[in-house]
Structure 1
Amino acid sequence: MPWNKPDDKDPWSHSPKNDGPPELDKLISQYWRKLTGGGKPGAGRGNKGLGPWPFIIVAIVIWALNGIYTVKEQERAVILRFGAFDRIEMPGLHWLPPGIDRKILVDVTSIRSHQIHGEMLTKGENIVLVDVGVQYRVEDPEAYIFSLTDPDLTVKSATEAALRQVIGDSSLDDILAAGKAEIRRRVEEELRQILEAYKAGVRVTQVTLGDARPPHEVKAAFDDAIKAREDKERYKNEAEAYANKVVPAAEGEAKRLVEEARGYKERVVAEAKGQVATFNKLLPEYRMAPEVTKRRLYLETMERILANNPKIIIDKESGTLNVLPLDQWLRGQRQQQEAKQ
């Protein structure tokens, strides 16, 4: 059928009874009439209705809901009002006016750490490779955020500065072996002083110092030096162990000899005193009868001498030599007694 006849309609034309989607301006007009009570957009306020208050109320509710936030147990909330510090909120549920206040959450319980590796110059102008680790946590959230641009980078740089300061004041022997614990303590103390001066708002919890090692070019010489130092310590320990073993034995032997000498002294003195007493006892008898006393002393002396010596008894009046082998008999008696024992 041709479209240009009077009774025909253009298939692209829209009829008021068409069931298609309504036009946009009609939708806006219908919604506006509902809000304003039947007026058109741009009409006066004489018509009764809700006006713009629903928009305002919805906007206020959304604005208020956006201000609700939660601070976790390990966090602290730093509140900024118009960009300036206002307060610190503790863990829990809080609210702030969006657009006026702004929050920055800071973890104050987690341990942060840095590892630093570098070549350091010692007091004796020797180069050593040193590893140091530092652990810290946030102590003052306000200072942590506002005092420094990058607190974590500052802690790392301050640790390296403290390490270079301490290594530069220490000898090579202290760094490699003997004074390692003291160097770690000094690095920790120096780092805390630097961070306090910066007001970084962090607290250093631990500083660990790794084994220092020489550069590769002189590693062999350093290994020889370390081995010599270890041998020195080993020989020293062995000498101390030997001294601890020998000295008590020598002291005991010395005490024994002293006690024996003291006993010998007491015995000799006692014998001398006994002899003196015997002499004093014999002196009056000798004065009364000198010959008898001398004869008796002679016989007693010979008795003591002959008692421990072999003897042969002969008869000097007879013409023949009669020998009585008393020594053989006494020797036989002693051997029999020893065999019985």
Structure 2
Amino acid sequence: MLLPLLMCWMVYAPLLIVLKFYIPWEQYDFAESSVIVFCAILVLSIIFSWSAFVLLELIRQIESGERPRIALAIAKSIKNTILALPIAVAWAVIWFLLSLLEALFSRASHDEGEELTAESAARTVAGYESFSLSGAFFQALKKGVRMAAFLIYPAVAWEGLGTSKSIKKGLGVAKTHKAEFATGFVLTELAALVVFLPPAVLFLLSGKFGISFPDWVWFSTMVYCAFAWSFSLFLEQMFVAELYLWHMIWEKESCLAKREGRPEPALGDVKRPSVRDDVDDLLLAGSSNSADKPGKK
């Protein structure tokens, strides 16, 4: 399940290096620079969306009692990514605007004319920079928007809803289960802090204490960051996918309770789905996207 995100990393990391070290920003005006940055963000939003759809298709296969097939998941993810392109574009627009505001508030903290070295490349792909409240605030906003986008995509992949209905359904899930969504936000952020702690220590030793490390250490750090970054994004995608599936099961249980004259159950009263158990939760939820379900009448 990490394979699609590792493939995304092979686009993400070189793109960051090119944007930071190879584009002569001083030769472009604000409008031209904005177009370049937006195009880069749009590429990232599309490939991140694609990786999410691969994971969602794998989950669909597992939770429908099928044998997981990565080739089929990749094929279907391409179709779903095209269908969800308006959502990816909207995500890119919001991401761009937040990045623009972040740059305006933290312009003084950026290093101008930094040379490309093994260490500076590792810092760039790891996203390591001096802590600031404004930077942390905007990173949290970007993460929230990203997780919201990932929460919308199951409506496309599992229920076959259109763009507007998918957005309404996905954001509705977040609104209905605010506490669970916030918990996932915090837990995935803590997990990311833990997995990125080793490279952060190296950067701190090098930057604050002037300890020099050979280039092979920084190249190894970049390889480690590829897996750490992929794992962090995987946790976000997996959490929102399971939250959406949990909501689907809760909706079904709520309708059943209403028909039987029972009080509506709380989300915590419904068994939380997991791809690691033997229960076909998507069949249990009764997804309306029945085309992929063998035996569905």
Normalised to the residue count of structure 2, the TM-score between the two structures is 0.21
Higher relative contact order (CA 8 A, sep 6+): 2
- From the two aligned structures, give the one with the greater strand fraction: 1
- From the two aligned structures, give the one with the greater helix fraction: 2
Normalised to the residue count of structure 1, the TM-score between the two structures is 0.19
Which of these two proteins has the greater Rg computed from alpha carbons? Answer: 1
